[in-house]
Amino acid sequence: MSVLRFEIADSVATLTITRPEALNALNTEVLTELGETLSGIRPNEVRAVLITGEGDRAFVAGGDIGEMSGMTSRQGAEFSRLGNRIFRTLETLPMPTIAAVNGYALGGGCELALSCDIRVASTKAIFGQPEVGLGITPGFGGTQRLARVVGVALAKEIIFTGRNLKADRALAIGLVNAVVEPEKLMSTAFTMATEIASKAPYAVRVAKAAIDLGLATDMDSGLALEAVYFGTCFETHDQIEGMAAFIDKRKPTGFTDN
């Protein structure tokens, strides 16, 4: 891969976008490599996914304006569908995902972070959806996910004004889960990822599914779904070992994903 680095350690997959000279802007090449990498991740070897951008200036500064500037209406719609398909693949990975936001997360970068389950930001992180200032709308899910994360009124304000948000404001409105000093960003995000990876992986996956699917339905249907997922955990090795360890006042000897 030429614009993406992929590593696995301690059951955590780390994906790093490596276009620092372009502030890790998303072009067709980056999106294609990201999609191919995400499609190859398997739950039996990866229990959490961490995404970041190379360098200290940008997570992802946005879509590649140089590539987009000459697009026709049809090409623009195709580019949007490409990004949405890949970001949806990220969003629907069975294992939890964490964005480690180390600088600019604007436009497509903010949308990439929104596609992750959890967002950890550096104090230098800057978020925003500045597309209206370029004569376009958010095209990689910003109009849909931002409203679901921060609420409709705030999402409209952010998108309609195109204003940037500093990390502390992003934390205050619930756009990010935590803000840390730049030198602690990757260690904090990786520690969170390994903590998740240390838990019963099947239980984590079905908890994510219950949350995501439940939010798309009414409360009664969501509770019924939760009961089904709750029941599927019983008689698994991990449930038997986890509860036995609790009763015996010891740590589990290891979760095996079955």
* 78 in active site: no
Q: What is the pLDDT of residue 257?
A: 76
What is the chain's mean pLDDT, rounded? 96
Place of tokens 């309609």: 160
Q: What per-residue confidence (pLDDT) applies to 60?
A: 98
Q: What is the pTM of this model?
A: 0.96
Residue of 45, 111, 157, 235 with catalytic role: 111
The contacts of residue 43 (CB under 8 Å, 6+ apart) are 94, 95, 201, 205, 257
Averaged pLDDT for residues 132-138: 97
The answer to whether residue 131 is catalytic is yes
The CATH code for residues 201-247 is 1.10.12.10
Q: Which of 29, 78, 131, 195 does the annotation list as catalytic?
A: 131
Give tens-digit pLDDT for 25-78. Answer: 999 999 999 999 999 999 989 999 999 999 999 999 999 999 999 999 999 999
Superfamily of segment(s) 4-197? 2-enoyl-CoA Hydratase; Chain A, domain 1 (3.90.226.10)
pLDDT tens-digit series, residues 195-223: 999 999 999 999 999 999 999 999 999 99
Output the CA–CA distances (angstroms, integers) from residue 46 to 83, 175, 231, 239, in the order listed: 23, 26, 24, 20
* Residue 254, pLDDT above cutoff 90: no
Domain assignments of the chain as residue spans, ordered by start? 4-197, 201-247
Q: Provide the pLDDT for residue 256.
A: 87
Mean pLDDT, range 119-130, rounded to an integer: 98
For residue 231, the SS3 value is helix
